[in-house]
Amino acid sequence: MSGLELFAAVLGVIAVWLTVKQNPWCWPIGLVMVLLYCWVFYGVKLYSDMLLQGVYAVLQVYGWWQWTRRGQAQRTRVVTYLDTPALLLGLLAGAGLSLALGAVMAHFTDAAQPWLDAALTGFSLVAQVWMAQKRVQCWLLWIVLDVIFVSLFIYREMYLTASLYALFTLIAVQGWREWHQRMAVSR
């Protein structure tokens, strides 16, 4: 564990908690966190996760824009459900990205766990886009991914980051509850 990993982990907890609370400051704090984690993942040869953090940086800006732009009828974006076709399309996109990235990482790099790392990356991108769009299902996908991430980070002896992702799992459960309740109230 390094000081950089510790600082990134603390920022991660703050960013995810702010996301649950639908506070738009989650996005700039998250941006700093993902940039720090790019460096951390490079150091442990989790290249797909490193690339994921780079894409997250772009998605942090997208999320900030989505959550703060003013629409014609409402002040900010509201929490909604994905319909079944959109849900399936997102999962199919995650699977396709996972396979493509896994093949590249397995054949052209010395990545540790190239297929698992790629799958987590592909589906994390889907979850992040859904989160930026305030789709309730993002939290269910995050719960599944975070549990798997915990195992990967324990395997790579990244115990602080594994603990962070265990905490992310608990926060994602809370996010699911709060966003789901918000949807029930707004109906």
Torsion of CA 66, 70, 74, 77, to 10 degrees: 10
For residue 73, pLDDT beyond 80: no
More confident residue, 157 or 32: 32
Give the separation between CA 96 and CA 54, rounded to whole angstroms: 19
Q: Give the range of the structural domain holding residue 9, as residue numbers without chain letter.
A: 3-186
Domain count, the chain: 1
Structure confidence by residue, pLDDT tens digits, 5-50: 889 989 999 999 999 999 999 999 999 999 999 999 898 888 878 8
For residue 186, pLDDT beyond 70: no
State the pLDDT at residue 180. Answer: 86
Give the separation between CA 8 and CA 158, rounded to whole angstroms: 13
State the pLDDT at residue 76. Answer: 67
Decide: 132 and 59 in contact? Cβ < 8 Å: yes
Mean pLDDT confidence for 145-154: 95
Give the separation between CA 36 and CA 117, rounded to whole angstroms: 18
State the pLDDT at residue 10. Answer: 92
What is the reported pTM?
A: 0.84
Residue 146: name the closest of 119, 175, 166, 121 by CA. Answer: 166
For residue 107, pLDDT beyond 80: yes
- Encoded tokens for 129: 């886009």
Please, which pLDDT band fits residue 1 given cuts at 50, 70 and 90? low
Q: What are phi and psi of 80, to 5 degrees?
A: -140, 170
Mean pLDDT confidence for 117-129: 93
State the pLDDT at residue 102. Answer: 94
State the pLDDT at residue 187. Answer: 60
State the pLDDT at residue 36. Answer: 95
Cβ-based neighbour number of residue 108 at 10 Å: 10
More confident residue, 72 or 15: 15
State the pLDDT at residue 70. Answer: 66
Give the separation between CA 145 and CA 163, rounded to whole angstroms: 14
Decide: 140 and 81 in contact? Cβ < 8 Å: no
Cβ-based neighbour number of residue 88 at 10 Å: 11
